[in-house]
Amino acid sequence: MQESIKIIGARENNLKNINLQLPKNQFIVFTGLSGSGKSTLAFDTLYAEGQRRYIESLSAYARQFLDKVGKPDVDKIEGLTPAIAIDQKTTSKNPRSTVGTITEIYDYLRLLYARVGTQYCHQCGKEISSMSAADIVNEILKLPKGAKIILYAPLIREKKGTYVDLLENLRNKGYIRAQIDGVLVRLDEDIELSKTKKHTIKLVIDRLELREDLLSRLASDVEKALEESFGELELEILNAKDLGIKEHYHYSEHNACFDCKISFTPLEPLSFSFNSPKGACESCDGLGIRFTLDMKKIIDENLSLENGAIKIMYGFNKSYYYKFLIAFCEQNNINIKIPYAELDAEQKRLVLYGNAKSIEFFWKRNRLKRNFEGVVKIAYDILKDEKDLDEYMSEKICKDCKGHRLKPESLAVKVANKNLGQLLDMSIEECTHFFSKESHFSHLNEQQKLIAKPILKEINERLFFLFDVGLGYLSLGRDARTISGGEAQRIRIASQIGSGLSGVMYVLDEPSIGLHERDTHKLIKTLRNLQQKGNTLIVVEHDKMTIEKADFIVDIGPKAGKFGGEVVFSGTYKELLKSQSQTALYMSGKKKISQQKNRPQKEFLELKNVNINNIKNLNVKFPLQNLVAITGVSGSGKSSLILQTLLPFAKEELNHARKVKKLGGVVIEGLEKLDKVIYLDQSPIGRTPRSNPATYTGTMDEIRNLFASTKEAKIRGYKAGRFSFNVKGGRCEKCSGDGEIKIEMHFLPDVMVVCDTCKGKRYNEATLEIQYKGKSIADVLDMSVLEACEFFSAVPKIKQKLDTLVKVGLDYLTLGQNAITLSGGEAQRIKLAKELSRSDTGKTLYILDEPTTGLHFEDVNKLISVLQHLVALKNSVFVIEHNLDVIKNADYIIDMGPEGGNKGGKIIATGSAAKLAKEHKKTNSYTGYYLDLELKS
């Protein structure tokens, strides 16, 4: 068997005819500058070819249902094994997805609760159980010998009536006694019951003393009782005190609570599914949240009622409600001239909920008489037809299910004395400990243990692997929309380890994203586990620790884009340190990132009383006009504090954003010192091939104007729109300005062929005849940013925008590069470049979430330089980050922890990198510990 994977003649995207030999069953790292071609070689060549060969081995019928993969541009790949990609796919945006559902643990929990769960009444808390006649006989026989028993068939429970016919019927059947309203009576006596009072009637089936030879008699009695009472039986033990047992027992063939008069349907897995009507909470339809009117969005408390305090009643077409409100206020002596905030509590209540008095007022010359039902009711009436209803709504946890998404009946079922909601609230770490203890399930009978054993095995394995990849702080009930790309990737790694496959080539895309240095150790251990099962691991990575621990390293460069695509080094880590590649220079310490400015902290932005996820009653100060790093182990609360608390407030206050989900109860001070907030995330700059760096940064508009101002264009009457490939006129109509035509191949993958009319240039011939300095607009879009910078050096408007792209390290991108082909890191830096090209006010707050994702050391150096430049212009930059190079160059660090999940959510250290490093033993800061190692190296 071949012991290596041989790549011969790889030319996909920017790869320059690469030949490479990779050892099998090893931990291999692909590294190099951002945009150098690592992902192209790993995913678009190796994985794509492995996937294609597998799909081609299937029948034509089966292939049509699979994602079709085109053949990569490579001469030959030898020794290829089946391939699995674990990339950074964004997690589900479905509000119904949770950590439990995407890991499939929830499916096993549903099965466990349906099969061995103990059902309780959700109203009174009494245990509910159903039994067959044989089960009931066996339970009675478990009572002590010598027990004096009366068997009753309960017939009537607390109902009015004389029941003459019922008692006559029982007499005719030969029964002798009954218990009526707690008193034993003979049925052959005259019995008169008041028809206006409630009665309870129980038929006496038999009276006996429990002995071993009574089995057949007892079985007959139980069957009679169940038949007469439609499935119920009650026991009274006359000598219960002497035997030290309960006096009354109740058995039933049905799932029902007879005290609360509720019947229950038999349990099944769907009873615990919040995606099914059988299990979903009826109040929130299984979402766990409800949308309610947010009075802060409807009422401006600083304004008077006369001047529009009730925002929805003020403005176009709302004058009817406004006049109605004013008339109501006048009748109830509510001052309409003072700010709403100054009204007393009773006056505010009247405005919100109205009263029963009729109000007379004039409307369009008519005298109307109406009941004022209050602003809340009127708001619902006004807004029910509005499309942007959520602009006035806020998310609140459902009161009925407390966010657990299930019906009360489902939440009343328990296993090991815990309901499903309680398990979903536990962290994966707590769940792992809970399910690993056999004593928690000792209450199950032998049959239940047999049923639970395979279910518990699956749950335990999945929980262990999730805990092992450093996700112990997540809870199973956590909304999947709040999970980062790195967390989602590690969930998928855990599921792959659990699958136990060997002989597979795994291709991973930066699995260390979102991981603190401490947690990267756990990740590497997990990856080793996967490799030691006989798999080949190809990891695209920039993390120092991961590169150090790799068996084999491939460094791609020497630069990015068209200046990259070559293997500049391949070999072991020791061999890498002797080379002169950019990666080697940073790994060996010959090159360092050192841009510390040590700015003072003078003005602050302050958050008080933050309560969200694992953060409880937190107060924190952020220095302004500083580069601030928010750090901490994974799950410590960084994103909750910045993205879910600070950012929504800043967006609403500074950017006047609508539809913002703000956190209640938080006090924020210092926003008046800023004039806008800009959040730069890694979402794509466009989702179609028509989006590119030139269009996103606005450079394309200037280029089109430039071409439209040429002499030839003016003679022909061409306007700027002529040079757009998005509208008819100048574009090639055969491909609609795409430059490519998609040919559907039915069972085979769709083929993209270059348009034979425009030859991929997107424009028609007449448009391409217009040239600026000897270049057509298609030639300009094919230029790299660096080339375009030189070409447009005499055009300040274009040069300025392109310079910012160079500053952020994107000089290798072509102006017309398809947005779909850009990585998250590249998209984020394009957004940063767009902001840099705007005129600066010096009072902007920039918020970035892990901007070093996908960045090589050299690119991180450039990024820090740009961030320092923004702060030098008197802006404030807040960065959520794990990268030590960024952290050590920050002016101020806010370190959260000490752990993730329930053990986190606190500020454990603040100050400069040197201060955190010096005090790490005192503060128990992992960030401080690793900073100490970094600063000493």
SS3 of 599-658: CCCCCEEEEEEEEECCEEEEEEEEECCCEEEEEECCCCCHHHHHHHHHHHHHHHHHCCCC
pLDDT band at 709 (very low <50, low <70, confident <90, very high): very high
d(CA 254, CA 240): 26
Q: Are 829 and 810 in contact (CB under 8 A)?
A: yes
Q: Are 881 and 850 in contact (CB under 8 A)?
A: yes
Mean pLDDT of 634-639: 86
End-to-end CA distance of the chain: 44
The predicted structure's pLDDT at residue 107: 93
Mean pLDDT of 581-599: 91
pLDDT(436) > 80: yes
d(CA 669, CA 664): 15
Last residue of a domain, one of 391, 422, 452: 391
Amino acid at 901: G
Q: Are 700 and 764 members of one domain? A: yes
pLDDT(389) > 70: no
Last residue of a domain, one of 253, 279, 312: 253
Give per-residue pLDDT as tens, 618-631: 999 999 999 999 99
Q: Are 342 and 382 members of one domain? A: yes
Instruction: Please indicate, yes or no, if residue 810 is contained in any of the structural domains.
Output: yes
Instruction: Give whole-number Cα distances, 18 to 75, 157, 457, 565, 568, in Å.
Output: 10, 85, 46, 8, 11
Instruction: Please indicate, yes or no, if residue 494 is contained in any of the structural domains.
Output: yes
The predicted structure's pLDDT at residue 723: 92
Q: Are 648 and 765 members of one domain? A: no
pTM: 0.73
Instruction: Please indicate, yes or no, if residue 931 is contained in any of the structural domains.
Output: yes
SS (H, E, C) 162-218: CCHHHHHHHHHCCCCEEEECCEEEECCCCCCCCCCCEEEEEEEEEEEECCHHHHHHH
Average pLDDT, the chain: 87
Mean pLDDT of 132-137: 86
Lowest-confidence region among 273-277, 659-663, 829-833, 884-888: 659-663
Instruction: Please indicate, yes or no, if residue 438 is contained in any of the structural domains.
Output: no
| Domain CATH for 348 | 1.10.8.280
Amino acid at 733: E
Q: Are 650 and 754 members of one domain? A: no
Q: Quick one: angle between helices 857-872 and 796-807, nearest 10?
A: 120
Instruction: Please indicate, yes or no, if residue 42 is contained in any of the structural domains.
Output: yes
Q: Are 843 and 812 in contact (CB under 8 A)?
A: no
Q: Are 698 and 677 members of one domain? A: no
Helix (H) / strand (E) element for 233: namely strand 232-237
The predicted structure's pLDDT at residue 537: 95
Q: Are 567 and 665 members of one domain? A: no
pLDDT(67) > 70: no
Last residue of a domain, one of 197, 227, 253: 253
Q: Are 671 and 697 members of one domain? A: no
The predicted structure's pLDDT at residue 500: 75
Give per-residue pLDDT as tens, 715-748: 999 999 999 988 888 899 988 888 888 877 655 5
pLDDT(319) > 90: no
Give per-residue pLDDT as tens, 321-378: 888 888 888 888 889 889 888 888 888 888 888 887 888 877 777 788 888 888 888 8
pLDDT band at 318 (very low <50, low <70, confident <90, very high): low
Q: Are 633 and 724 members of one domain? A: no
pLDDT band at 404 (very low <50, low <70, confident <90, very high): very high
Number of domains making up the chain: 5
Give per-residue pLDDT as tens, 83-129: 888 876 555 678 888 989 888 899 999 999 999 998 898 888 888 87
pLDDT band at 66 (very low <50, low <70, confident <90, very high): low
Q: Are 664 and 697 members of one domain? A: no
Q: Are 211 and 304 members of one domain? A: no
The predicted structure's pLDDT at residue 316: 47
pLDDT(196) > 80: yes
pLDDT(696) > 80: yes
The residues that bridge with 615 in the sheet, in sequence order, are: 612
Q: Are 808 and 750 members of one domain? A: yes
Helix (H) / strand (E) element for 756: namely none
Share of the chain above pLDDT 90, in %: 41
Give per-residue pLDDT as tens, 884-911: 999 999 999 999 989 887 888 999 999 9
Mean pLDDT of 146-160: 91
Taking the CA of residue 584 as centre, how many other CA atoms within 13 Å lie in the half-sphere pointing to its CB? 20
Give per-residue pLDDT as tens, 742-773: 877 655 556 677 888 898 899 999 999 999 99
Amino acid at 233: L
pLDDT higher at 571 or 663 = 571
The residues that bridge with 753 in the sheet, in sequence order, are: 741
| Domain CATH for 225 | 3.30.190.20
Instruction: Please indicate, yes or no, if residue 850 is contained in any of the structural domains.
Output: no
Mean pLDDT of 133-137: 87
Mean pLDDT of 653-673: 80
| Domain CATH for 714 | 1.20.1580.10
Instruction: Please indicate, yes or no, if residue 862 is contained in any of the structural domains.
Output: no
CA 266 to chain centre: 33
Q: Are 573 and 624 members of one domain? A: no
| Domain CATH for 617 | 3.40.50.300
Instruction: Please indicate, yes or no, if residue 396 is contained in any of the structural domains.
Output: no
Nearest to 536 by CA among 41, 78, 3, 1: 3
d(CA 140, CA 138): 5
Q: Are 859 and 867 in contact (CB under 8 A)?
A: no
DSSP state of 664: T
Full residue range of the structural domain in which residue 569 is found: 4-90+485-587
Lowest-confidence region among 30-34, 166-170, 393-397: 393-397
pLDDT higher at 793 or 367 = 793
Nearest to 635 by CA among 519, 757, 751: 519
